[in-house]
Homo-oligomer: A and B are copies of this chain.
Amino acid sequence: MAYRETRRTQEKMAQKKEDIIKAARELFAEKGYQGTSIKALAQKAKIATGTVYLYFANKEELIQFVVDEMFQELLTVIKNERKKYTDGFDKLQASIDVCFQVFLKERTMAKILLVQVPGISTSFQKKLLKIENEFVRWTKKDLEELKLEGRLPEGDTLVSAIALVGSFRQVLLHYLMEGEPKDLETAFINLKKYNLRGLGHGHES
């Protein structure tokens, strides 16, 4: 009997998997999925090319894993942040704030999710769409609650939700590609104001 799985080896392998994922996130963000070869990936992760296949069945499974993990991270952070509030507007703002923060901090995540994923394949387009719709649905739900409370005027909540998500997406992407403005904080506040006005917030005043 020899070489039973032990704590040490398990941790070592877990670390190696992490290394692969880290390299993948960076390279996919920088060069795109097609533009990233397994050889280059292995080189970046400081392992042999064949080793990648000990951890992932193939390249497709790797990008799937990376994308799924990213969304999971994002959803978890948002859910945790929303828990802190009960008021509808606060929850909505919390979602927006945290998305913005995460994407600005984790630029590789932003570039992969917002730029690279749609171009990978039609199946990824569909996957992305499903998850984007998840965000839109949440936003829509927030808006409908607020409408019921009489804090927002009548209006098409679906259109509003999509518009809101889209405006943030575009601004985020702009900063990501073109560089941040001098005063990011103020720009972000203006963007929020834009959307609050768009929603008709304060309509009764």
Contact = CB atoms under 8 A, between A and B. Distances in A.
Interface of A: 30-35, 115-122, 125, 129, 133, 136, 155-156, 158-160, 162-171, 174, 177-178, 181, 186-187, 190-191, 193-195, 197-200
Nearest to A167: B163
A170 B177 contact: no
Contacts of A181: 158
Contacts of A156: 186-187, 190
A162 B170 CA distance: 6
Given A118-B118, A119-B115, A190-B156, A195 B32 contact: no
Given A159-B194, A198-B195, A32 B122 contact: yes
Oligomeric state, in copies: 2
Contacts of A117: 119
B195 A163 contact: yes
Chain A contact surface mostly: helix
A143 to B, nearest CB: 11
A31 B124 CA distance: 12
B159 A122 contact: no
Contact of A166 (B33, B125, B167, B197): B167
Contacts of A133: 178
Given A129-B177, A162-B171, A164-B167, A35 B121 contact: yes
A177 B198 CA distance: 24
B194 A160 contact: yes
Nearest to A156: B190
12 contacts: A115-B118, A118-B118, A125-B177, A155-B190, A159-B187, A159-B191, A162-B170, A163-B191, A165-B170, A166-B167, A166-B171, A167-B198
A194 B190 contact: no
